[in-house]
Amino acid sequence: MSTDHPDRDVNAEDQPITEISKADEPETVKPEAAKSEDGDLAVAPVAKPRRLTMLIAIAAVILLSDILTKVWAVAAVKPGQPIEIIGDVVTFTMVRNPGAAFSMATSMTWILTLVAIGVVIGVIKIGRTLRSPWWALGLGLVLGGALGNLVDRFFRSPGIMRGHVVDFVSVGWWPVFNIADSAIVCGAILLVVLTLFGFEPNGERLRDHKTDDKKLTDSKAAAEGETK
């Protein structure tokens, strides 16, 4: 009669202990590999995290700050009675602005409202695939500023899409502005700088692409020279 257990592996005694232990170890997950153009295996780059949450958070801070400061300005600053902060150079001066930032295009209120709505939609669309923190900052400033002034366009007199924006910060000869105006200008300047220096919304840099392409071309040329 055989005394072997029915579940016993009869070949286990012939296997080294190290091989049995290795068989029980969990399999290590390796990074994904992809074939390059020349057929060599290369590790695929890890994608950078998306920055939509960062963009929305920045826009929310700008929007809330703009609304609260405008509510304070309407209650505390009387028209024609500026509050001096640094002499007459920096003051709080109440201005109802029917135009764009810094009192431009005052006769195109409803058109400016439509433009602002288009800007908001465009920023949100770009933000869905955004991976650069600097682009998130710039677009967040623009989005928050656009929403801040849109609130005035919709909820202040004389009516929906024709409401006058509250401006109250006066600095020297500069036109009277608000936090939303400042955010839009600062965000736009940042986006222009990022574009000029080759920083892309996906977190990559245009110069890096050119360098990689040059290295690839040089390596291929060297390989061809060796085979000749």
DSSP sequence for 157-216:
TT-TTTPPEEEEEEETTSPPB-HHHHHHHHHHHHHHHHHHTTB-TTS-BHHHHHHHHHHH
The separation between CA 56 and the C-alpha centre of its own chain, rounded to angstroms, equals 8
* Matching residue, tokens 């200008």: 185
Do the Cβ atoms of 145 and 186 come closer than 8 Å? no
* Amino acid letter for position 134: W
- Which residues are part of the catalytic machinery? 167, 181
Helix (H, G, I), strand (E, B), or coil: what is residue 7?
Answer: coil
- Tell me the angle at which helices 133-155 and 52-76 cross, rounded to the nearest 10 degrees: 40
Smallest Cα–Cα separation from 151: which of 111, 117, 104? 117
Distance CA 222, CA 195 (A): 34
